[in-house]
Amino acid sequence: MSTAPAAAVSVHAAETLLFFTLLQLAVIVLIGRIGGALAWRAGQSPVVGEIIGGIVLGPSLFGLLSPDIFRFVFRSAPPEPLTILSQLGLILLMFQIGLEFDFSHLKERRNRRAVRNVALVGLVLPFVLGLGFGYQTAPLLSPDADRLASALFIATAFSITALPILGRIMIEFGMTDHKLGVIAISVAAINDVVGWLLLALVTTLTVAEYSHAEFALKVGLVAAFVVLGWFVVRPVMKWLVRRFQRSEAGLPGNLLGVLLAGIFLAGMCTYKLGIFAIFGGFMMGVVLHDEPTLRAAWKEKVGHFVTVFFLPIFFTFTGLRTEIGGLDTLQLWGWCALIILLATLGKLGGAYFAARLSGLSRSESGILGILMNTRGLMELIVLNVGYDLGVISRNVFTMLVLMAIVSTVLTTPCLRAWLPKAGFASSGRR
């Protein structure tokens, strides 16, 4: 006799969850469009407006000004639906980014050398600066954390480049078929894979589960995944794409289904490898980057929906986990300024130096440095992991959040200033 009431309660709970999820999505999509439009009017990339819109919707502003309404909209239901949607959107965006880039530029020896040098220096220099800063300041800024773990985590945070946001900004500036765009996205992919491995290292050290053998195995498995994707998955997927497109032009339903299944399976593989599912999506895009008909069909049927619907969800979800406001003394703001300076010196300066060593011009090297310094909200994902692990304090978390936002906000105006020097005419229009 209790089955019917229990079923009714279950249905009511599901409807309640759906109601609040739809409410959140309506608010997020509208704020995303408004933020993007305002950023565009201010001469920024629309993605910057969407990032700031996500922060505004979080506890840093909306939750501070209208706590009751904030709790009603974003705290009346579990966060799992937004979590899943944000990650799904990010995986699809990463596929789109991998699909957009013309990797044939890497056939040139000088470009391969630039990728290798910029990736190496762009990792080592910021890592060393972050390690030194973290180790020296941990007793003062994160007194409750393990000193070495805190230093390693800050070093890792300094080393990250925001691959999804970087890719989207370069798409807006029309850089996807230029060698600088390909070099930058390749370096960013290498930086982020190594960064996730470093994050895994810090995490295992923190929870006392680190093993040299297990870490080496993880690196080997990631390399095997890349090789398998290129030499086995790539020919199979290209054959399927061409077969389906022979019977129907564009992006037929069966081909879209195969692509989505492939993207999700690749994401499952990289998740199991410990470098997060988004790199599986990126790898699937890379293996199909030389299919221009598929690229055009994807952009027409799927791409715009991904950027309009899914991406603001990701930005807002991350903003909901970010609270800015803990820096209440001049000393703390001074430490924040130093973090921004060191992080910029490590990434921008390191990439510029390495690009010059690789034979690129001053203007090209400057553009690469600007692109590599883009941290974006990928950095915030890393920072939330560190904060949850207890290796950084709330104040250090806030400083690193500000560093990520400042570096991303500076990218568009700096590119507009430097791109004409390298012969680009693009102004960053959508």
Which tens digit of pLDDT belongs to each residue from 127-143?
999 999 999 999 999 89
pLDDT confidence of residue 429: 47
Which tens digit of pLDDT belongs to each residue from 384-402?
778 878 889 888 988 898 8
User: Residue 430: which pLDDT band, with cuts at 50, 70 and 90?
Assistant: very low
In one-letter notation, the amino acid at residue 375 is: R
Q: Report the greatest alpha carbon distance in the chain.
A: 79
Alpha helices in 42-79 (DSSP H): 46-57, 62-65, 67-74
User: Residue 428: which pLDDT band, with cuts at 50, 70 and 90?
Assistant: low
pLDDT confidence of residue 6: 61
Give this prediction's pTM: 0.75
| The two structure tokens encoding residue 43 | 């001469």
What mean pLDDT is predicted for residues 107-115?
77
CB 133 within 8 A of CB 335: no
Task: Give pairs for 24-30: CB < 8 Å, separation 24+.
Answer: 24/73, 24/74, 24/82, 25/85, 25/313, 27/57, 27/73, 28/57, 28/312, 28/313, 28/316, 29/308, 29/309, 29/312
* 3-state SS assignment for residue 143: coil
Q: Is the dihedral of CA 205, 209, 213, 216 positive or negative?
A: negative
256 has pLDDT over 50: yes
Q: Is 143 exposed, middle or buried (0-12, 13-18, 19+ CB in 10 A)?
A: exposed
pLDDT confidence of residue 106: 64
pLDDT confidence of residue 333: 92
Q: How far apart are CA 156 and CA 362, in angstroms?
A: 28
In one-letter notation, the amino acid at residue 48 is: V
Of the listed ranges 65-69, 113-117, 260-264, 331-335, the least confidently predicted one is: 113-117
pLDDT confidence of residue 350: 92
pLDDT confidence of residue 264: 95
Residue of 131 and 149 predicted with greater confidence: 131
| The two structure tokens encoding residue 277 | 């599912």
Which of 7-21, 52-66, 350-364 has the largest mean confidence? 350-364
CB 390 within 8 A of CB 202: no
293 has pLDDT over 60: yes
Which of 49-63, 155-169, 353-367 has the largest mean confidence? 353-367
Which tens digit of pLDDT belongs to each residue from 343-367?
999 999 999 999 998 888 898 899 9
User: Residue 168: which pLDDT band, with cuts at 50, 70 and 90?
Assistant: confident
pLDDT confidence of residue 130: 94
Of the listed ranges 4-13, 155-164, 222-231, 293-302, the least confidently predicted one is: 4-13
Neighbours of 136 (CB within 10 A): 12
What mean pLDDT is predicted for residues 190-200?
76
In one-letter notation, the amino acid at residue 302 is: V
- Average pLDDT for the chain: 84
* 3-state SS assignment for residue 424: coil
Q: Is 167 exposed, middle or buried (0-12, 13-18, 19+ CB in 10 A)?
A: buried
pLDDT confidence of residue 104: 65
In one-letter notation, the amino acid at residue 293 is: T
189 has pLDDT over 70: yes
CATH code linked to domain 89-294+322-422: 1.20.1530.20
Query: Any residues with CB less than 8 A from the CB of 66 and at least 6 apart, and which?
Result: none
Q: How far apart are CA 54 and CA 314, in angstroms?
A: 8
pLDDT confidence of residue 111: 74
Q: How far apart are CA 298 and CA 278, in angstroms?
A: 18
Q: Structural domain boundaries of the chain?
A: 89-294+322-422
User: Residue 260: which pLDDT band, with cuts at 50, 70 and 90?
Assistant: very high
Q: How far apart are CA 239 and CA 228, in angstroms?
A: 16
Query: Any residues with CB less than 8 A from the CB of 40 and at least 6 apart, and which?
Result: 46, 49, 430
Query: Any residues with CB less than 8 A from the CB of 368 and at least 6 apart, and which?
Result: 114, 118, 180, 183, 184, 187, 351, 352, 355, 360
Of the listed ranges 31-40, 52-61, 364-373, the least confidently predicted one is: 52-61
pLDDT confidence of residue 227: 92
In one-letter notation, the amino acid at residue 104 is: S
User: Residue 316: which pLDDT band, with cuts at 50, 70 and 90?
Assistant: confident
